[in-house]
Structure 1
Amino acid sequence: MQHTTPITTLFLDIGGVLLTNGWDRASRKVAATKFSLDLAELEERHHLTFDTYEEGKLTLDEYLDRIVFYEDRPFSREEFKEFMYSRTEPYQDMIDMICQIKSKYGIKIAVVNNEGRELNEYRIRTFGLNKYVDFFISSCFVHFRKPDADIWRIALDIALVKPEEVVYVDDRALFVTVAEGLGINGIRHTDYATTRDKLAQWGFPL
């Protein structure tokens, strides 16, 4: 791959890249079965309010008030939260690769992701992402969420880099396309081996 501007920074998504998606459709389906909830009602309420939670305008308790605890339940709020937290698993091969790239090449690492505050902070701290990520441009912190282009503009400003200095890794094609529209170099993540090879082409062989 030919490029004239050195890459100084990686922008990374979390869910689907470094960790599993924490509170996705599959997790809500399991929750509906485990807690005897009406899945269709849960999904409708989730979709009507989750964007607001991800933008940092609701707390997790307020979000749960709207989707689960709008009526009495035979289980506690803490039980439900623990279930939500338990749904995250690491993609350890991806984590190890990013740590190796940072150690070997000394580049900046920034997360650009959509996540509600409590889930975001749990996932970051539990899986040690803050040990190697320099900046977290999370929707709950900056009050913009992908695919709003402003979240990437904020990330560029915080990292103090030009778009052409950045490679952005995300598993969602739309988000990669929007970032590329700003001049950021994009990698659509599908699996560890493919992303490793693409990062090597951008100058980061391991």
Structure 2
Amino acid sequence: MEQKITTLFLDIGGVLLTNGWDRNARRRAAADFALDLAELDERHHLTFDTYEEGKLTLDEYLDRTVFYEPRSFSRDDFKHFMYAQTTPYPEMLELVRYLKSTYGLKVAVVNNEGRELNEYRIKTFGLDKFVDFFISSCFVHFRKPDADIFRMALDIALVQPQEVLYVDDRALFVSVAEGLGINGLQHQTYEATRAHLAGLGLK
């Protein structure tokens, strides 16, 4: 007998919204603000995990990656640029809202993101209107691919792994979730994800 899916665990970047501060966004920032991209990327990679785990503020992250020397632009200008990199995937947002209202699903976000970017994206794009739980790395102080973030999500949602479908655009994170018995789906296109959900009875 097929196990009924009662709960969706969702990543944000690459699934509901574009990635917030990825390689492409940093490339655009380097061009717009005349920064050394190689230096920005190196400093980013040495620092960003700590920011995503909620152990640095955005200002502290920027102190280490951009404002370690005088700049011709303001910190606020750079932050506004960072926030402006996010755009929504309207079809995916509408799909999740529809499935939640139609089937009474629990919806949880399980994502890696720093606090200020995370909160901006949640509020600006109304994710808090339909997501029940945010198990974000900045709130729980560990990040994917640490399996504990999925264990915590299961505990908070009070569900068994087999009741959950986890949707992420990164195959590695899907694989980690599947290792705990969670059903996994690597999101690649809206059409493919919608068809997969329909196959699970979520039409």
TM-score range, shorter chain: over 0.9
1:94 maps onto 2:92 in alignment: yes
Q: Distance in 2 between matches of 1:45 and 1:37?
A: 12
Q: Distance in 2 between matches of 1:202 and 1:45?
A: 43
Q: Which residue of 2 aligns with 1:16?
A: 14
Q: Distance in 2 between matches of 1:133 and 1:150?
A: 20
Give the structure-1-normalised TM-score: 0.98
Gaps spanning 5+ residues in structure 1: where? Answer: none
Q: Distance in 2 between matches of 1:203 and 1:46?
A: 42
Gaps spanning 5+ residues in structure 2: where? Answer: none
User: Among the aligned pairs, what percent are the same residue?
Assistant: 73
Give the structure-2-normalised TM-score: 0.99
After the TM superposition, list the runs of 4 or more consecutive aligned residues in structure 1 that deviate by more than 4 angstroms: none
Q: Once the 2 structures are TM-superposed, how far is the Cα of residue 6 of structure 1 from its aligned partner?
A: 1.7
The partner residue of 1:121 within 119, 122, 127 is 119
Q: Secondary structure at the match of 2:135?
A: strand
Q: Which residue of 1 aligns with 2:78?
A: 80
Q: Secondary structure at the match of 1:112?
A: strand
Task: Write the letter of the residue equivalent to 2:181.
Answer: G
Q: Deviations over 1:139-173 (max 9, x none)?
A: 00000100000000000000000100100000000
Q: Distance in 2 between matches of 1:109 and 1:171?
A: 17
Q: Which residue of 2 aligns with 1:155?
A: 153
Q: Secondary structure at the match of 1:94?
A: helix
1:107 maps onto 2:101 in alignment: no
Q: Once the 2 structures are TM-superposed, how far is the Cα of residue 7 of structure 1 from its aligned partner?
A: 1.2
The partner residue of 1:173 within 171, 185, 190 is 171
Q: Once the 2 structures are TM-superposed, how far is the Cα of residue 198 of structure 1 from its aligned partner?
A: 0.4
Task: Write the letter of the residue equivalent to 2:155.
Answer: D
Paired positions, count = 203
Q: Distance in 1 between matches of 2:35 and 2:153?
A: 38
Task: Write the letter of the residue equivalent to 2:92.
Answer: M
The partner residue of 1:36 within 31, 34, 52 is 34
The partner residue of 1:25 within 23, 30, 33 is 23
Q: Which moved more, 1:5-14 or 1:116-125?
A: 5-14
Q: Once the 2 structures are TM-superposed, how far is the Cα of residue 28 of structure 1 from its aligned partner?
A: 0.2
Q: Which residue of 1 aligns with 2:55?
A: 57
Task: Write the letter of the residue equivalent to 2:156.
Answer: I
Q: Deviations over 1:92-141 (max 9, x none)?
A: 00000000001100110000000000000000000000000000000000
